[in-house]
Amino acid sequence: MTRTSDGPVEAPARPTIDPGLSGATGVRDIGTSDPRYRRRPALIGLGVGLLAVCGAGAAYLAQLSGDTTQVLAVAADVHRGEIITTDDLTIARAAPDPAVAPIPADRRDGIVGQHAAADLTAGTLLTESAVTSAAVPAAGETVVGVAVTEAQLPQHEMVPGDPVRIFDTPNPGDDPPAESPPSIPATVVSVSGITDHGQVIVDVVVDDDVAGELAARVATGRVAIVLDSAQEPDAASDEDEQQ
């Protein structure tokens, strides 16, 4: 404390230096003294890794987009036999898949005006087997629904256009017939899922003159469906000879 003529005066307080400050400059040394600002190599590595993953994901999505092609899809439900209009179709993108084989979008004009070979559901891709140039059923033909259990038809998937035969079967517990039972040839139009009664409905096209006989057989429940080859016997013989 010093004195003046006007009275005692307080001496200025001595400044204190924060231990975290650098020298006499009073500047805090960020990243060295304060642990809050120290570099964390693990976090930096994690950030770099996330950037790499995001970049790889973006590249993969871009590649997938480049591999897809424009195909036809069903925009509105179309019942079997109805004529397909331009409003019934839309364009979707799908990766090439031989198991599905959707119709390319550039064939849209050729598909419009054809008939639906089976019930078409909105949101599904349009395939070759789903369309036909002929009305279903055509003149002289009849569609008959055959209700069977899973044990009465092949496990192999049946699709529209497959050739089949519907056979009579004996009553449960009876001996098998000594001769081959009678059958009716048909062509598959559509195959339903399993109904609440545990049956599958297979719509088939048959000639008019056997439609009533087939309907009567189906009513007994004693029928079975077998799937035939779509290949002509002569063509199969030719292939065997070439081999």
pLDDT tens track for 141-176: 999 999 999 999 999 988 888 899 999 999 888 888
SS3 content of the chain, % helix, strand, coil (to 5): 30, 30, 40
Average pLDDT over all residues of the chain: 80
76 to each of 6, 61, 123, how far by Cα in Å?
102, 29, 8
pLDDT tens track for 201-222: 999 999 999 999 999 999 999 9
Which band of pLDDT confidence, cut at 50, 70 and 90, is reported for residue 13? low
The whole-number average pLDDT for the span 100-127 is: 91
Q: Is residue 7 predicted with pLDDT exceeding 90?
A: no
Phi, psi of 239 (to 5 degrees): -65, -40
- The residue ranges of DSSP E strands in 56-213, in sequence order, are 69-74, 89-94, 115-116, 131-132, 141-148, 163-168, 183-194, 200-207
The whole-number average pLDDT for the span 20-42 is: 54
Beta bridge partners of 68: none
Phi, psi of 73 (to 5 degrees): -130, 160
The whole-number average pLDDT for the span 180-185 is: 93
Segment among 32-36, 128-132, 224-228 with least mean pLDDT: 32-36
In this predicted model, which residue has the larger pLDDT, 13 or 190? Answer: 190
